[in-house]
Amino acid sequence: MKNAIIVVTAAYGNSRVTAMGGQQALLPIIAGAGADGVEIRRELLSGPELNALPTLAAAIASHHLKTCYSAPQALFSDDGALNPNIPALLEEAQILNAAWLKLSLGNFQSNHAAEPLRELLAASPVALVVENDQTVYGKLAPMQRFQAAVSVMNLPVTLTFDMANWLWVGESPEVAASKLAPLVSYIHVKAAESRHARFHAIALDDAEPRWLELLRQLPGDAPRGIEFPLEGDDLTAVTRHYVNLLREV
């Protein structure tokens, strides 16, 4: 079975998304490239766009794309409490007909703080996936503690594995994959290189083959999200190239 491929709108660059008139303008490109879905980024939605989510949902449906909704918020606040915005974010995701809501972990401290998730998710058709981000909370140890809590508490929560974010926090992506793979349900495919002591995401054609070996450590049935830079004069052709590549490897 071929892998489902999701295109993250931020892959086109925030400034280009804005110049094109917003994320809805990318849908013909993503659908035309043969992708299966789109990851809508909340941070790229203007105030009026947030108030018109049904319109965006209808446009996505008209292009026959699945939806992931990504919000730049953490599941747990800095004080360790569950983010009080979770119900509102789940509602926005539901309006978009999103299959899942993606958040970062944040300051997870105790199983008790995670308990309210059971009721919130039971009342929502939207699944929750938690991503390793580029903060101290996205390091392997916190992610493993959360993974253990999900297992012990039997919570309906899985992980998004961002392949390159581990580099930003000084962790081995391969070690992380060996520990977290059983709970991974969505993969952000990304390669990065170090320039001037900082990591930068790069296109797969410009990367060493490490990304491919890492991808093979992760669940083969997990949707693969394109989150590396998609650039060029013909964005549909560039996107199609990587959609086809990731569907077959």
| CB neighbours of residue 229 within 10 Å | 18
Q: Position of tokens 């989150």?
A: 227
| pLDDT value at residue 88 | 98
| pLDDT value at residue 86 | 98
| pLDDT value at residue 2 | 73
**Can you give the chain as a three-state secondary structure string?**
CCCCEEEEHHHHCHHHHHHCCCHHHHHHHHHHCCCCEEEEEHHHCCHHHHCCHHHHHHHHHHCCCEEEEEEEEEEECCCCCECCCHHHHHHHHHHCCCCEEEEEEECCCCHHHHCHHHHHHHCCCCEEEEECCCCHHHCHHHHHHHHHHHHHHCCCEEEEEECCHHHHCCCCHHHHHHHHHHHEEEEEECEEEEECCEEEEECHHHCCCHHHHHHCCCCCCCCEEECCCCCCCCHHHHHHHHHHHHHHC
| CB neighbours of residue 36 within 10 Å | 19
Amino acid at 24: Q
10-residue stretch averages of pLDDT, the chain, 249 residues long: 89 96 97 98 96 98 98 97 98 98 97 95 97 98 98 97 97 98 97 89 94 96 97 97 95
Q: Round to whole Å and give the CA distance between 155 and 54.
A: 29
| pLDDT value at residue 197 | 78
| pLDDT value at residue 21 | 95
CB-side neighbour CA atoms (13 Å) of 130: 28
| pLDDT value at residue 84 | 97
| pLDDT value at residue 3 | 85
| pLDDT value at residue 196 | 82
DSSP strand pairing (191-195 vs 127-131) = unpaired
Beta-bridged to residue 74, according to DSSP, are 104
Q: Round to whole Å and give the CA distance between 37 and 162.
A: 17
Q: Round to whole Å and give the CA distance between 216 and 115.
A: 33
Domain boundaries, the chain: 5-230
Architecture of the structural domain at 5-230: Alpha-Beta Barrel (3.20)
| pLDDT value at residue 198 | 87
| pLDDT value at residue 113 | 95
